[in-house]
Amino acid sequence: MIPGVEIDADRIAAAVQAQPHVAGLHSGRFGEIATLLRGRRIAGIRVRDDEITIGVTGRYPATAVEISDDVRAAVGPIGLPVHVRIGDIASAPAKEKP
């Protein structure tokens, strides 16, 4: 971790969900990707001293590389490895008829 940089799981969750290739956060098959805070839980973001794991649902037709690149760009430089787990792929939104 970069000295003096505090990892804010709420900020990471908001930034990741705003990415174009991410449909939402995904906590994993058994809910193992999560950060526990006082009185609440942030599903899809797991912050540890030595790494961060982010679980997402990707947006079709994005590739795994595009989704992972979006997630890592959203997190930014923090000095820790960022692991991206793609738990599901959401179908493309239906196009509106004029």
| Model confidence, pTM | 0.85
pLDDT for the residue 1: 47
Containing 16, the helix (H) or strand (E) segment is helix 9-17
pLDDT for the residue 39: 92
Q: In terms of Cα–Cα distance, which of 48, 59, 67, 68 is closest to 7? A: 48
Handedness of CA 43, 71, 1, 14 (dihedral sign): negative
Q: In terms of Cα–Cα distance, which of 13, 88, 29 is closest to 58? A: 88
Average pLDDT, consecutive stretches of 10 residues, N- to C-terminus, the chain (98 residues)? 68 95 94 92 94 96 96 92 96 68
